[in-house]
Amino acid sequence: MAATGRRAGHKTRLADREGFLAWAFLLPSIVYLTALVVAPFGLTVAFAFSRSTSDAPSYRFAGLRNFRAVFGDHVFWRSLADTLALTGIAVVLVVVLGTVLANLLLADFRHRRTVRVLVLLPWTTPVALSAISWRWLLGSAGSPVDRLLRETSLLHGGESPLGRTSLATASVVAVHVWRMTPLAAVIVMAGLTAIPREVWDAARLDGAGFWRRVFGVTVPLTLPVTAVAAVFTAAMTFADMAVVRVLTGGGPGDATQVLPALAYLRGVERGDIGNGAAIALFLFPLFLAGVIVILRIVRRMDARS
């Protein structure tokens, strides 16, 4: 009896230890992150400094050879510029449209819940399936967009909407905005519902008009959630290659090629694993710098308000 009581007491004390419980709860997350993030990242770093190819997959150290080849490639620099431009434009449009959509969805109207579910459909639809649908809409002969452009004399002969650099770039941005705006709207809605109603009522009683309430009350108080929406949009757009691969294939003439798609093209399709890994590795510091810039801008705006 005494021994049994001591064992039960020992188990109780072990279960009550906060340090033990913390590690027990964190262990599954640590294993998951190690298997799906840390290990692939380590392999990418190793391959970026190797001469590995699909024909000769054995590891052979190459030093900075792959990075020198990447930095001397004009396609890489053009893809880098396109990636930054597409991501920046998409983030601005998604944040603005997501904020507007969030305010509309919070309005009191019939079938509001049904509309909210329908608005989320672009986000829940698989990226490849969405890109295929948009490719039919924008790039197929006889599609609605194709007929509209021909009727307005913007297209001639056998030219395709996705065959023009400006239209192809706008199409990629449009797909990203269409896909990410619902998520941004949901995030901003969470921030809007957290603002006490008394704050808006007080601003209205003080004589603040609609735009004064928007920029003096709503925008400052929703800056943290707006920053989250911007970071999510930047991450999903910056690291996505499915839209470009399916919609434009990087064309015309590498005009819409982005770094993730270029890394896949070089490392997988062309078999130069080291070159593709070096391009993929270059995404990490760029994304980290972008997140830091976004958070610093929001912090400064929050401090001023």
Residue 288 lies in a domain: yes
Residue 31 lies inside a defined structural domain of this protein = no
Query: If you write DSSP's letter for every residue of 188-206 in order, what string do you get?
Result: HHHHHHTS-HHHHHHHHHT
pLDDT band, very low/low/confident/very high, at 94 (cuts 50, 70, 90): very high
Which residue(s) pair with 50 in the sheet? Answer: 61
pLDDT digits (tens, 9 = 90+) for 7-66: 544 555 666 677 777 788 888 888 887 887 788 888 888 888 988 888 877 778 888 888
CB atoms within 10 A of CB 171: 23
Q: What is the distance of C-alpha 177 from the center of its chain?
A: 10
**Each residue's pLDDT tens digit, 103-155:** 888 887 788 788 888 888 888 888 888 888 888 887 766 777 777 777 776 66
Asked if residue 122 lies in contact with residue 181, where contact means CB atoms within 8 angstroms, the answer is yes
pLDDT (0 to 100) of residue 304: 63
Is residue 129 assigned to a domain?
yes
CATH code: domain of residue 101: 1.10.3720.10
Q: Which residues span the domain enclosing 210?
A: 74-304
Q: Average of pLDDT values for 80-109?
A: 88
Residues 141 and 159: their CA atoms lie apart, in Å, by 9
Residue pLDDT, tens place only, 244-284: 888 888 878 778 888 888 888 888 888 888 888 899 888 88
Residue 94 lies in a domain: yes
Confidence of residue 89 (pLDDT cuts 50, 70, 90): very high
Q: Specify the pLDDT at position 252.
A: 80
Residues 95, 181: Cα–Cα separation, whole Å: 7
Per-residue model confidence (pLDDT) at position 177: 92
| Mean pLDDT on 149-173 | 76
Torsion of CA 142, 145, 151, 152, to 10 degrees: -160
Whether residue 64 lies inside any domain: the answer is no
Does residue 23 sit within a domain?
no
Please, which residues have CB within 8 angstroms of residue 48's CB and are 6 or more apart in sequence?
66, 67, 274, 277, 278, 280, 281
The structural domain count of the chain equals: 1
Beta pairing partners, 61: 50
pTM: 0.79
Q: What is the pLDDT of residue 158?
A: 64
Q: Which of 154-158, 241-245, 288-292 has the highest mean pLDDT?
A: 241-245
* Residue 125 in domain: yes
